[in-house]
Chains A and B, each alone.
Chain A
Amino acid sequence: MYIIKNAWKSITRAKGRNILIGIIITIVTISACISLAINKSSDTLVNSYKNNNPIEVSFQLDPSSLMNATTEEKESFETLTVDMIEEYGNSSLVSDYYYTLEASMSSDEINPVDYSTLTVDENAENENDSNRPKMDSGDFRLTAYSDFSYLEDFISGTKKITEGSMIEKDNTENVIVISEDLAEENDLELNDTITLYSNDEDTTYKFEIIGIYEDTSDVSEDSFAGMTSMNSRNQMYTNLTSLNEILEEQEDTTSENTKRMMSRNGLSAKFYLNDNDTLDEFEDEVREKGLSTYYSVNTNESETLATLEPIQNISNFSMTFLIVIFIVGAIVLTVINLINIRERKYEIGVLRAIGMSKLKVTAQLVSEIFIVSIISLLIGTSIGTLASQPVANMMLKGEIESYKEEVSNTQNNFGNGNFQRPSMNQNNNPIRKMAATDYVDSLSVSIDIITIIQLICVSMSLTLISGIVAVLSINKYEPNKILQNR
């Protein structure tokens, strides 16, 4: 007990030295508190974001490598089929999946909605509809979903059924859902019938309108890329059975070579994995089950993670900062303690001469550092807790601004903001992706018990490092030598 009492006397009577040590530990604690809180909150946010936004896995045919393949290889190439998708979808690694069929259609009876008839919004951003056909020729785009609950436009509210209803999953009749604009353009109403055809004008399909939807998405001429079917107002929805029939007819009229270049006309699938880390395992599994190597397995992970990039950056920065400040703090404290021990050599000599054991002298010196550390820890944690949220906000704001500036500069380098590489579709264009990314712009930072334990560990590690220096120094000193040398 007297060791603590004596340690406290030493602290209070050598204020300057202990205030200096206290300031260093407080600075390290504040930094550690902010860094750990930001890191912890970032990790929680990133994990929660990943869990709430599982990555989408899709397959994409690489036409160039297929074109360069030998005739034998081309003949052995198997295109992706609905059966294959369903087989892959039943994997234990997959939590859910859906696929879409899409066909480009035309009609002699109805006119497509033209760009000029729509309200022009010059500043509108381009849509990122991943389900757009890659080879379009008709005026309309007919789409069927294996599960309409994945229809993003309807989930986000860009599109909304205003009359009738959406296609039901088990519907097999030739029914269709069209946009309000298309209905108005052609005076169409519910239960009217429209006739569409695909490649062959003589082969027509009649569809009964069972639903009309309102489309509130912004449009610009760029969105259509010169094709009316790209206008989302000209998109129609039907069931898988009806669309499959149309696509089979299309295949019959398409040359074998063209077919090989297409991943099966308009068939695309998306898989959601139970665990994002099992992507490689899933790829191995689908390859084993027969997915051709001409298909690449893609994910939207980079797109998902792009929204979190500023947060991950400040998290990484804060941890690096913590390590640097910990090392610097440890070095400075060690030096101060070495000087401190040298200055107190006489005191150590006296204590040893009047019978205080090395262990107790060490305990007293370590207690002094420990008491200063505890006080600094309390002050540092309090300041750190208060400062962590504003610091996180400031860092995140700076990070996002820096990203946006980078995107803006890159776009300016091309002369305008709408430049797009011809070979890239919108989803793969990194510049567009960055521009369109809706960064996570808030980070709720809080200090929990784990963070406090980590802080105690950081602070105590510093105390321990300083303590070891004290122990090593004291063990070196013999009382008689200290007193004789004085």
Chain B
Amino acid sequence: MSILKVEDLSFSYDNNKLVLKNIDMDFSEGKVYGVFGKSGAGKTTLLSLLAGLEIAKDGKILYKDNDLSKINRDKYRSNEIGVIFQSYNLLPHLTALENVILSMDISNLKVKDRHKKAMQLLKKVGLDENKANRKILQLSGGEQQRVSIARALSYDSEIILADEPTGNLDKDTEEDIINLLINLAHEDNKCVIIISHSTEVKNRVDILYYLVNGKLAE
């Protein structure tokens, strides 16, 4: 069943050249989607639009048949979609654990022990208690990437949107994270959308989308 739908979407920044042109996409629960394309193809812009960080001017993005431009996008970002940013976007004055808990706080997640759940998530992505209690800048790039993933998973959103989630990870960890994301789709019935260059990811996703110069390639 379609959870997120893109209909005839075109987009440009500040009325300049179109970054995305007449895009149509359909995302369903329980599947892993891969969006591929060269640099400048419009992948990150698409992610921003799907994450509700930008508003579609031409065309529509429908979340459960609701136009994303007309719903509360703060609530959408805090509860319905978990975003793993390429540059992590973590708060440096907080620890890894606090970053995850803050995300739960913002989503107002009904969990008895947020601390315990955050710790479990961090362990799931391969961070022990010691690292969980370190401030973000005391962690390596790969470790920050894992915190970012744990944060995206923290409030049980139906959609996981990942921008190069394995970009800074070693081969073994990359494998673990891909497995984690695939399991989320196949076992927990979540809709996982991955934007990546990785061949490993390309080989594991259920449905592939190629973006070429802002257009969807067949």
Contact = CB atoms under 8 A, between A and B. Distances in A.
Considering the complex of A and B, which 5 residue pairs feature the smallest CB-CB distances, nearest first?
Answer: A355-B78, A2-B105, A355-B77, A480-B53, A13-B93
Interface in B56-108: 74-79, 83, 85, 87, 89-91, 93-94, 98, 102-103, 105-107
Report which residue of A360, A479, A486 has the largest number of chain B beta carbons within 10 angstroms of its beta carbon. Answer: A479
A353 B51 CA distance: 9
Interface of B is mostly: helix
Contacts of B102: 2, 6, 354
B133 to A, nearest CB: 14
B31 interface: no
A418 B54 CA distance: 87
B87 A483 contact: yes
A360 B75 CA distance: 12
Nearest to A10: B93
Given A353-B77, A355-B74, A479-B53, A9 B106 contact: no
Given A479-B53, A480-B53, A480-B54, A354 B103 contact: yes
A73 B76 CA distance: 94
Contact of B91 (A2, A347, A479, A480): A347
Contacts of A358: 74
B48 interface: yes
Interface size class of A (residues with CB under 8 A): 20 to 34
Interface in A358-405: 358, 360
B5 interface: no
Given A14-B93, A357-B74, A483-B87, 15 more contacts: A2-B102, A9-B94, A347-B91, A347-B93, A349-B89, A350-B89, A353-B85, A354-B102, A354-B103, A354-B151, A355-B75, A355-B78, A355-B107, A356-B78, A480-B48
27 contacts: A6-B105, A10-B93, A13-B94, A14-B93, A347-B91, A349-B89, A351-B91, A351-B106, A353-B51, A353-B53, A353-B77, A353-B83, A354-B77, A354-B83, A354-B89, A354-B103, A354-B151, A355-B74, A355-B75, A355-B78, A355-B79, A356-B74, A358-B74, A479-B53, A480-B53, A480-B54, A486-B87
A350 B90 contact: yes
Contacts of A355: 74-79, 106-107
Interface residues of B, number: 25
Contacts of A486: 87
Contacts of A14: 93
Interface of B: 48, 51, 53-54, 74-79, 83, 85, 87, 89-91, 93-94, 98, 102-103, 105-107, 151
Interface of A is mostly: helix
A360 B87 CA distance: 24
B93 A353 contact: no
A2 B101 CA distance: 10
A480 B47 CA distance: 11
A353 B74 contact: no
Contacts of A479: 53
Contacts of B53: 353, 479-480, 483
Nearest to B90: A350
A360 B53 CA distance: 17
Nearest to B79: A355
A218 B74 CA distance: 88
B106 A354 contact: yes
Contacts of B103: 354
B72 to A, nearest CB: 8
A481 to B, nearest CB: 9
Nearest to B81: A355
A430 to B, nearest CB: 66
A5 B53 CA distance: 26
A483 B106 contact: no
Nearest to A344: B93
Nearest to B154: A354
